[in-house]
Amino acid sequence: MKIKDSQLFISQRQKKEMNRKGQVSIFIIVAVIIVAVIVLFFVVRDRIGEGVPAEFVPVYDFYSSCIEESAKVGANLAGMQGGRIFVTEYEPGSDYAPFSSHLDFLGSKVGYWYYLSGNGLIVENPPSINDVELEMEEFIKSSLDDCTFDEFYARGFYVYEDEAEVDVQIEDERILVKVISDLVVEREGNNARKTLHEVSVSSKLGKLYNIARDVYNSEKEDLFLEEYSIDVLRTYAPVDGVEVSCSPEIWKTEEVVNGLKEGLSENLASVKFRGNYYDLDNETDHYFVVDSRVSEPVRVVYFDDWPSKIEITGDNVDESLMVAEPVGNQEGLGVLGFCYVPYHYVYDVAFPVMIQVGDGLEMFQFPVVVIIDNNVAREADLSNLDYTEDEFDICEFDVAQADIYTYDNQLNPVEARVQYKCLDQTCTLGETSIENGNAILRANLPQCVNGKFIARADGYSDGELTYSSNLDSFADIILDREYDVVVNARVSGRELRDGESAIIYFVSEDGTSTAVLPENNVVNLKEGSYDISVYVYGDTGLVIPASSKTECIDVSKGGVLGLFGATKEECFEIDLPETKLENALTGGGRITTYLLENELESGSVDLEVMELPRPDSLEQLQINYQLFETGDVGVVFG
């Protein structure tokens, strides 16, 4: 009996324990359901929309169309403006580097990815794909403010929207846009809410951008644009060479510059990348193919009216003419037996090109500046980094102040553009303006020892002044007035005959001005001392017959003795072909004189020189050069 009572007691305890566990299980299940409901609410809250009542669907479709249209416009802007939707701060160019921070392309300002700043610094500014996405997000967000629901208001809808948060992801063939904004629509007591708005826009922006970066990196590493441009330079402009002649070789500087620009425009337009978007008709076409494969068309565009820098240096080079003097007709050089004209010119060239990627329906373009320095390509950038740090810009540290005055040589005020050169950088300061009878500019500039002010004004030669900005606080810069003067040459009292030409040099401490008569008879002169040389060339029937001569040189013997510097003489026969000299020196002379400003104001000058015998032999030609050195020049203004 006791055993039964004990069993009954245990059974009752077990039941109570089971009831207690059952109650706990129910609580757990209820808690899990509540948590699940909460989680489900937050998960699906942003995706409510598929169950939006039909009457509200057009409102949400309209909002999605606003997002899609904004994304398309933003993608187009980014493609046309080098990956930038918002134009960055504009930095002007300078006389040294006429490139601003943006290229004006058909009215749109496109930021350079690589350029030479006004201070002469190399600047790289290609955007990353993340930069493009961020600007797209900002653009879409601001564009949605213009997405108005007036049409729906007129139909009795009420629309409430929160400030939008935008996320953009650019892929090769599409742009994914996610907009988070509570958009609540009500009408006649019914309402709907949608928070997450996702749009997929068909676009090759990502693909075109990636190709553009590949092309840019190829240019940085291989300098293919510079290499093509150097070939154009040597084809379209005189660089170095030798011509058989006893009269100078003459090129008009402006024609050389224009011819070079035309050559660049025509040839760079033929540059292609390996791909299937063109046909090659001949071997010449293969020359223009860059050995890098692309999956979309790539074009290079250069217009000859874009801001470009073309500087030519060499003997007897000025803004008007490039003149190469003959060798072999001077006194003491008769042993040569012939005349020749050697020439060597050095070009510093910088110009912008626009690189376009795409088939025309969609396009990505970006500009870079091509730089040729002393006839060779700029140094390649072989860094694997996507970005390089800009060079130190001394002009940014403009802690010194100066009052700058500009005058002519009569101390009359002259408004001028002013720059300050410190070390190898040039800072553009601004322009002087008339104030209380003076042309003055108050400017900030970097501290520098023995820097240089450069002042420029139309109609005046450049004014320069050495200036230490860490010591001084004002500067007076003098600019000399320049005059266009028409030059006429007379030979023993007569005008130049048909077939005759004259080359006239005005050499001063500041440089050389050259006139070539009869075509180019105007020179730009200022008051000062000049060495004036007048060379008159006329037709001649002088023929240098064919000849040969022996030249001997010492060469290494070779073998063991050659290792110790032993040499032997080897001789060569050199054949000189018959040469007919079309023109030769038939008059001229020299003079050193001081030209006054009131003489230059007359606007014309006659130069009188003596006539020399028409040369019929190389010996007579050399005699003419001896006579030329003793000849005088009459200078008459009026």
Pair 211, 228 in one domain: yes
Pair 326, 303 in one domain: yes
Pair 188, 215 in one domain: no
Q: Which residues of 599-617 are buried (b: 16+ CB within 10 A; e: fewer)?
A: bbeeeebebbbbbbebbee
Pair 426, 510 in one domain: no
What is the reported pLDDT for 476?
Answer: 95
What is the reported pLDDT for 638?
Answer: 83
CA-CA distances (angstroms) from residue 539 to 241, 327, 499, 542? 24, 18, 6, 9
Q: What is the CATH number of the domain that holds 598?
A: 2.60.40
Pair 630, 489 in one domain: yes
Q: Which of 179, 203, 227 is the last residue of a domain?
A: 203
Pair 222, 248 in one domain: yes
Pair 305, 435 in one domain: no
For 447-479, the three-class secondary structure string (H helix, E strand, C coil) is: CCCCEEEEEECCCECCEEEEECCCCCCEEEEEE
- Interval 384-414: pLDDT, tens: 434 334 456 788 888 899 999 999 988 999 9
Q: Which of 442, 460, 479 is the last residue of a domain?
A: 479
CA-CA distances (angstroms) from residue 133 to 73, 77, 89, 128, 205? 13, 12, 19, 9, 11
In a domain, 95, yes or no: no
- Name the average pLDDT for the chain: 84
Domain count, the chain: 5
Half-sphere exposure of 319 (CA within 13 A, CB side): 6
Residue 543 has pLDDT above 90, yes or no: no
Pair 465, 340 in one domain: no
Which of 48, 575, 596 is CA-nearest to residue 337?
A: 575
Residue 15 has pLDDT above 70, yes or no: no
Residue 333 has pLDDT above 50, yes or no: no
What is the reported pLDDT for 19?
Answer: 56
* Cβ atoms 78, 85 nearer than 8 A: yes
**Coil, strand, or helix at residue 2?**
helix
Average pLDDT of the residues in 562-576: 65
**Which of 20-34, 110-124, 305-319 has the least mean pLDDT?**
20-34
- Interval 115-146: pLDDT, tens: 888 777 888 999 999 999 999 999 999 999 88
Alpha helices by DSSP H, 269-302: 283-287
- Give the whole-number percent of the chain exceeding pLDDT 90: 55
* Cβ atoms 92, 115 nearer than 8 A: no
Q: Which of 169, 186, 203 is the last residue of a domain?
A: 203
What is the reported pLDDT for 10?
Answer: 45
**Where are the strands (E) in 275-337, listed by range?**
289-293, 298-301, 309-313, 321-324
In a domain, 66, yes or no: yes
Residue 65 has pLDDT above 50, yes or no: yes
**Coil, strand, or helix at residue 563?**
helix
Pair 148, 273 in one domain: no
- Give the whole-number percent of the chain exceeding pLDDT 70: 82
Q: What distance in Å separates the CA atoms of residue 607 and residue 488, rounded to the nearest whole number?
A: 6
pLDDT band at 612 (very low <50, low <70, confident <90, very high): very high
In a domain, 517, yes or no: yes
Residue 28 has pLDDT above 90, yes or no: no
Pair 617, 507 in one domain: yes
What is the reported pLDDT for 110?
Answer: 92
What is the reported pLDDT for 23?
Answer: 55
In a domain, 557, yes or no: no
* Cβ atoms 119, 356 nearer than 8 A: no
Q: What is the CATH number of the domain that holds 412?
A: 2.60.40.1120
In a domain, 555, yes or no: no
Average pLDDT of the residues in 542-570: 64
In a domain, 311, yes or no: yes
* Cβ atoms 349, 341 nearer than 8 A: no
Pair 194, 58 in one domain: yes
Residue 161 has pLDDT above 50, yes or no: yes
Pair 225, 270 in one domain: yes
Question: Which contacts (CB < 8 Å, 24+ apart) does range 160-166 have?
Answer: 160/184, 160/185, 160/186, 165/141, 166/137, 166/138, 166/140, 166/141
Residue 52 has pLDDT above 80, yes or no: no
Average pLDDT of the residues in 489-511: 91
What is the reported pLDDT for 7?
Answer: 47
In a domain, 459, yes or no: yes
Q: Which residues of 297-316 are buried (b: 16+ CB within 10 A; e: fewer)?
A: bbbbbbeeebebbbebebeb
In a domain, 123, yes or no: no
What is the reported pLDDT for 1?
Answer: 40
- Structural domain boundaries, residue 256: 206-377
